[in-house]
Structure 1
Amino acid sequence: MATLSIHFDPAVIARLTSAGGDDTIHVTLSLGAGSATQAAAPIVPHGPLAALMQAGLLKPDTVLTFHQRRANRTGRAVVTSDGQLIVDGHSSPFPSPSKAAEAVTGNVINGWTLWHTPDGSTLDQLRQKYTE
Protein backbone atom coordinates (compact mmCIF):
# COMPACT_ATOMS: atom_id res chain seq x y z
CA MET A 1 0.00 0.00 0.00
CA ALA A 2 1.32 3.45 -0.93
CA THR A 3 1.92 6.02 1.78
CA LEU A 4 1.37 9.74 1.38
CA SER A 5 3.40 12.09 3.57
CA ILE A 6 2.65 15.79 3.61
CA HIS A 7 5.19 18.13 5.17
CA PHE A 8 4.21 21.72 5.86
CA ASP A 9 6.52 24.60 6.60
CA PRO A 10 5.91 25.87 10.17
CA ALA A 11 4.76 29.22 8.74
CA VAL A 12 1.98 27.42 6.86
CA ILE A 13 0.83 25.67 10.04
CA ALA A 14 0.82 29.00 11.89
CA ARG A 15 -1.28 30.58 9.14
CA LEU A 16 -3.74 27.69 9.14
CA THR A 17 -4.22 27.82 12.91
CA SER A 18 -4.71 31.60 12.92
CA ALA A 19 -7.20 31.66 10.04
CA GLY A 20 -10.65 32.96 10.80
CA GLY A 21 -13.89 31.34 9.72
CA ASP A 22 -14.18 33.63 6.68
CA ASP A 23 -10.57 33.18 5.51
CA THR A 24 -9.84 31.15 2.41
CA ILE A 25 -6.63 29.14 2.61
CA HIS A 26 -5.10 27.81 -0.61
CA VAL A 27 -2.70 24.88 -0.41
CA THR A 28 -0.80 23.64 -3.45
CA LEU A 29 0.54 20.10 -3.43
CA SER A 30 3.38 19.00 -5.69
CA LEU A 31 3.95 15.32 -6.17
CA GLY A 32 7.61 14.40 -6.49
CA ALA A 33 9.69 11.28 -6.78
CA GLY A 34 10.42 11.32 -3.06
CA SER A 35 13.77 13.06 -3.23
CA ALA A 36 13.89 16.23 -1.18
CA THR A 37 16.83 17.47 -3.24
CA GLN A 38 15.09 16.97 -6.59
CA ALA A 39 14.50 20.35 -8.21
CA ALA A 40 11.00 21.02 -9.44
CA ALA A 41 10.56 22.28 -12.96
CA PRO A 42 10.09 26.05 -12.93
CA ILE A 43 6.56 27.27 -13.47
CA VAL A 44 6.35 29.69 -16.35
CA PRO A 45 3.59 32.28 -16.12
CA HIS A 46 1.16 32.46 -19.03
CA GLY A 47 -1.88 34.53 -19.86
CA PRO A 48 -2.47 38.26 -19.47
CA LEU A 49 -0.29 38.70 -16.34
CA ALA A 50 2.71 36.77 -17.72
CA ALA A 51 4.58 39.79 -19.13
CA LEU A 52 4.29 41.70 -15.83
CA MET A 53 5.53 38.67 -13.90
CA GLN A 54 8.42 37.98 -16.26
CA ALA A 55 9.43 41.66 -16.01
CA GLY A 56 9.47 41.39 -12.20
CA LEU A 57 6.66 43.93 -11.78
CA LEU A 58 4.27 41.37 -10.29
CA LYS A 59 5.30 38.40 -8.15
CA PRO A 60 3.59 35.14 -7.27
CA ASP A 61 1.65 35.27 -3.98
CA THR A 62 1.02 39.01 -4.35
CA VAL A 63 -2.32 39.91 -2.76
CA LEU A 64 -4.50 42.13 -4.93
CA THR A 65 -7.49 43.99 -3.50
CA PHE A 66 -10.20 46.40 -4.50
CA HIS A 67 -12.87 48.41 -2.74
CA GLN A 68 -15.94 49.86 -4.43
CA ARG A 69 -17.31 52.35 -1.95
CA ARG A 70 -20.65 53.05 -3.65
CA ALA A 71 -21.43 49.35 -4.09
CA ASN A 72 -20.00 48.59 -0.62
CA ARG A 73 -18.04 45.74 -2.17
CA THR A 74 -14.47 44.53 -1.66
CA GLY A 75 -12.41 41.83 -3.30
CA ARG A 76 -9.18 39.97 -2.60
CA ALA A 77 -7.18 37.77 -4.96
CA VAL A 78 -3.77 36.10 -4.88
CA VAL A 79 -1.49 35.86 -7.92
CA THR A 80 -0.42 32.27 -8.66
CA SER A 81 3.01 31.33 -9.97
CA ASP A 82 1.49 30.51 -13.36
CA GLY A 83 -0.12 33.95 -13.72
CA GLN A 84 -3.70 33.28 -12.66
CA LEU A 85 -5.72 34.80 -9.83
CA ILE A 86 -7.28 32.91 -6.94
CA VAL A 87 -10.20 34.93 -5.62
CA ASP A 88 -11.39 34.52 -2.05
CA GLY A 89 -14.49 32.35 -1.95
CA HIS A 90 -13.80 30.66 -5.31
CA SER A 91 -12.14 27.28 -5.67
CA SER A 92 -10.85 27.67 -9.24
CA PRO A 93 -8.30 30.25 -10.39
CA PHE A 94 -9.22 32.88 -12.96
CA PRO A 95 -7.07 33.42 -16.07
CA SER A 96 -7.41 37.21 -16.21
CA PRO A 97 -7.88 40.21 -13.92
CA SER A 98 -11.23 41.02 -15.53
CA LYS A 99 -12.61 37.49 -15.13
CA ALA A 100 -11.51 37.54 -11.46
CA ALA A 101 -13.18 40.93 -10.93
CA GLU A 102 -16.35 39.72 -12.62
CA ALA A 103 -16.46 36.77 -10.23
CA VAL A 104 -16.60 39.18 -7.29
CA THR A 105 -18.78 41.95 -8.70
CA GLY A 106 -21.15 39.88 -10.83
CA ASN A 107 -20.68 42.42 -13.63
CA VAL A 108 -18.44 42.66 -16.67
CA ILE A 109 -15.73 45.01 -15.44
CA ASN A 110 -12.17 46.07 -16.28
CA GLY A 111 -10.06 44.17 -13.76
CA TRP A 112 -6.89 45.93 -14.89
CA THR A 113 -8.15 49.20 -13.38
CA LEU A 114 -10.00 47.61 -10.46
CA TRP A 115 -7.36 45.41 -8.76
CA HIS A 116 -4.69 47.14 -6.65
CA THR A 117 -1.30 45.85 -5.52
CA PRO A 118 -0.21 46.28 -1.88
CA ASP A 119 1.49 49.60 -2.76
CA GLY A 120 -1.78 50.96 -4.22
CA SER A 121 -0.90 50.66 -7.93
CA THR A 122 -3.48 49.23 -10.28
CA LEU A 123 -2.56 46.40 -12.62
CA ASP A 124 -3.10 48.88 -15.47
CA GLN A 125 -0.43 51.17 -13.97
CA LEU A 126 1.98 48.20 -13.81
CA ARG A 127 1.16 47.39 -17.42
CA GLN A 128 1.91 51.01 -18.42
CA LYS A 129 5.31 50.78 -16.67
CA TYR A 130 6.04 47.59 -18.59
CA THR A 131 5.28 49.18 -21.97
CA GLU A 132 7.35 52.35 -21.34
Structure 2
Amino acid sequence: MPTLSIHFDPAVFAHLAKAGGDDTVHVTLSLGGGEQNSSPVAPVVPHGPLAELMKAGLLAEGTILAFHQRRAGRQGRAVVTSDGQLIVDGQAAVFPSPSKAAEAITGNVINGWTLWQLPDGRTLDDLRRDLAQGRHGG
Protein backbone atom coordinates (compact mmCIF):
# COMPACT_ATOMS: atom_id res chain seq x y z
CA MET A 1 0.00 0.00 0.00
CA PRO A 2 1.50 3.37 -1.00
CA THR A 3 1.92 6.12 1.58
CA LEU A 4 -0.17 9.24 1.17
CA SER A 5 1.48 12.43 2.31
CA ILE A 6 -0.53 15.66 2.39
CA HIS A 7 1.24 18.97 2.87
CA PHE A 8 -0.73 22.19 3.34
CA ASP A 9 0.53 25.68 2.75
CA PRO A 10 0.27 27.72 5.99
CA ALA A 11 -2.23 29.99 4.18
CA VAL A 12 -4.72 27.08 4.23
CA PHE A 13 -4.62 26.95 8.02
CA ALA A 14 -4.91 30.74 8.24
CA HIS A 15 -8.02 30.59 6.02
CA LEU A 16 -9.53 27.80 8.14
CA ALA A 17 -8.90 29.79 11.31
CA LYS A 18 -10.83 32.78 9.87
CA ALA A 19 -13.77 30.69 8.64
CA GLY A 20 -16.98 30.85 10.65
CA GLY A 21 -18.73 27.82 12.08
CA ASP A 22 -21.29 27.76 9.26
CA ASP A 23 -18.76 28.36 6.45
CA THR A 24 -17.90 25.62 4.00
CA VAL A 25 -14.24 25.43 3.07
CA HIS A 26 -13.42 23.57 -0.14
CA VAL A 27 -9.96 22.01 -0.48
CA THR A 28 -8.73 20.69 -3.81
CA LEU A 29 -5.96 18.12 -3.85
CA SER A 30 -3.70 17.55 -6.85
CA LEU A 31 -0.70 15.39 -7.55
CA GLY A 32 2.54 17.08 -6.60
CA GLY A 33 6.08 16.59 -7.78
CA GLY A 34 7.79 14.95 -4.80
CA GLU A 35 11.06 13.02 -5.02
CA GLN A 36 9.30 9.82 -6.07
CA ASN A 37 6.95 11.52 -8.55
CA SER A 38 9.10 13.42 -11.02
CA SER A 39 6.65 13.31 -13.93
CA PRO A 40 4.92 16.63 -14.57
CA VAL A 41 1.22 16.86 -13.81
CA ALA A 42 -0.87 18.06 -16.73
CA PRO A 43 -2.99 21.12 -16.02
CA VAL A 44 -6.70 20.52 -15.55
CA VAL A 45 -8.66 21.57 -18.63
CA PRO A 46 -12.29 22.58 -18.12
CA HIS A 47 -14.87 20.53 -19.99
CA GLY A 48 -18.64 20.42 -20.12
CA PRO A 49 -21.14 23.27 -20.21
CA LEU A 50 -19.06 25.78 -18.19
CA ALA A 51 -15.79 25.15 -20.07
CA GLU A 52 -16.15 27.91 -22.67
CA LEU A 53 -16.92 30.51 -19.98
CA MET A 54 -13.83 29.43 -18.07
CA LYS A 55 -11.57 29.37 -21.14
CA ALA A 56 -12.75 32.89 -22.03
CA GLY A 57 -11.91 34.14 -18.53
CA LEU A 58 -15.53 34.92 -17.66
CA LEU A 59 -15.74 32.28 -14.92
CA ALA A 60 -12.92 31.07 -12.67
CA GLU A 61 -12.19 28.05 -10.54
CA GLY A 62 -13.30 28.72 -6.99
CA THR A 63 -16.09 31.12 -7.95
CA ILE A 64 -18.95 30.83 -5.49
CA LEU A 65 -22.40 30.72 -7.07
CA ALA A 66 -25.61 31.11 -5.11
CA PHE A 67 -29.37 31.35 -5.52
CA HIS A 68 -32.28 32.20 -3.29
CA GLN A 69 -35.89 31.37 -4.12
CA ARG A 70 -37.86 33.36 -1.55
CA ARG A 71 -41.32 32.01 -2.40
CA ALA A 72 -40.19 28.40 -2.31
CA GLY A 73 -37.95 28.98 0.69
CA ARG A 74 -34.94 27.42 -1.04
CA GLN A 75 -31.39 28.55 -1.41
CA GLY A 76 -28.23 27.00 -2.75
CA ARG A 77 -24.51 27.55 -2.87
CA ALA A 78 -21.97 25.96 -5.21
CA VAL A 79 -18.29 26.29 -6.05
CA VAL A 80 -16.86 26.01 -9.57
CA THR A 81 -14.13 23.35 -9.86
CA SER A 82 -11.04 23.60 -12.06
CA ASP A 83 -12.57 21.15 -14.54
CA GLY A 84 -15.81 23.11 -14.88
CA GLN A 85 -18.11 21.16 -12.58
CA LEU A 86 -20.01 22.33 -9.51
CA ILE A 87 -19.64 21.26 -5.89
CA VAL A 88 -22.95 21.98 -4.17
CA ASP A 89 -23.15 22.46 -0.42
CA GLY A 90 -24.82 19.49 1.23
CA GLN A 91 -24.47 17.20 -1.80
CA ALA A 92 -22.07 14.27 -2.09
CA ALA A 93 -21.97 14.30 -5.90
CA VAL A 94 -20.16 16.77 -8.16
CA PHE A 95 -22.46 18.13 -10.86
CA PRO A 96 -21.50 18.54 -14.53
CA SER A 97 -24.01 21.30 -15.32
CA PRO A 98 -25.66 24.28 -13.63
CA SER A 99 -29.12 22.79 -14.19
CA LYS A 100 -28.23 19.41 -12.65
CA ALA A 101 -26.72 21.23 -9.65
CA ALA A 102 -29.86 23.35 -9.20
CA GLU A 103 -32.11 20.32 -9.61
CA ALA A 104 -30.26 18.57 -6.77
CA ILE A 105 -31.35 21.36 -4.42
CA THR A 106 -34.80 22.23 -5.74
CA GLY A 107 -35.95 18.70 -6.56
CA ASN A 108 -37.36 20.04 -9.83
CA VAL A 109 -36.08 20.22 -13.38
CA ILE A 110 -34.95 23.84 -13.54
CA ASN A 111 -32.81 26.12 -15.69
CA GLY A 112 -29.65 26.51 -13.62
CA TRP A 113 -28.19 28.99 -16.12
CA THR A 114 -30.76 31.60 -15.03
CA LEU A 115 -30.88 30.53 -11.38
CA TRP A 116 -27.22 30.51 -10.24
CA GLN A 117 -25.75 33.95 -9.58
CA LEU A 118 -22.20 35.17 -9.18
CA PRO A 119 -21.32 37.30 -6.14
CA ASP A 120 -21.94 40.44 -8.24
CA GLY A 121 -25.51 39.34 -9.06
CA ARG A 122 -24.95 38.30 -12.68
CA THR A 123 -26.28 34.90 -13.70
CA LEU A 124 -24.44 32.22 -15.65
CA ASP A 125 -26.82 33.04 -18.50
CA ASP A 126 -25.55 36.66 -18.39
CA LEU A 127 -21.98 35.32 -18.78
CA ARG A 128 -23.07 33.12 -21.66
CA ARG A 129 -24.58 36.16 -23.40
CA ASP A 130 -21.35 38.13 -22.82
CA LEU A 131 -19.38 35.31 -24.42
CA ALA A 132 -21.71 35.18 -27.43
CA GLN A 133 -21.36 38.94 -27.87
CA GLY A 134 -17.57 38.75 -27.66
CA ARG A 135 -17.18 40.34 -24.22
CA HIS A 136 -14.45 38.30 -22.52
CA GLY A 137 -12.85 38.55 -19.12
CA GLY A 138 -9.37 37.51 -20.28
TM superposition score category, shorter chain reference = 0.7 to 0.9
TM-score (norm 2): 0.84
TM-score (norm 1): 0.87
2:52 corresponds to 1:55? no
Moved over 6 A (4+): none
Shift of 1:121: 0.3
Report the Cα offset of residue 78 of structure 1: 0.2
1:75-94 alignment runs, 5 A limit: 75-94=76-95
Kindly state the Cα deviation for residue 74 of structure 1 after the two structures are TM-superposed: 0.9
CA displacement at 1:60 relative to structure 2: 0.5
Read off the aligned partner of 2:92 and give its amino acid letter: S
What is the SS of the residue equivalent to 1:16? helix
Q: In the alignment, is the contact (CA less than 8 A) between 1:24 and 1:89 conserved in 2?
A: no
Gapped runs of 5+ residues in structure 1? none
1:123 aligns with 2:88: no
The two structures, once aligned, show a CA RMSD in angstroms of 2.2
Secondary structure in 2 matching 1:75 = strand
Tell me the distance in 1 between the aligned counterparts of 2:8 and 2:122: 32
Q: State the 1:42 CA deviation.
A: 1.1
* CA-CA distance at 1:48 after TM superposition: 0.3
CA–CA distance in 2 between the matches of 1:64 and 1:110? 14
> 109-118 vs 7-16, which deviates more?
7-16
Task: Return the alpha-carbon distance in structure 2 between the equivalents of residues 68 and 102 of structure 1.
Answer: 13
Q: Which residue of 2 aligns with 1:101?
A: 102
Count of residues in Structure 1 that have an aligned counterpart in Structure 2: 132
SS of 2:94 mapped into structure 1: coil
* TM-superposed deviation, 1:2: 4.9
Tell me the secondary structure at the aligned position of residue 95 of structure 2.
coil
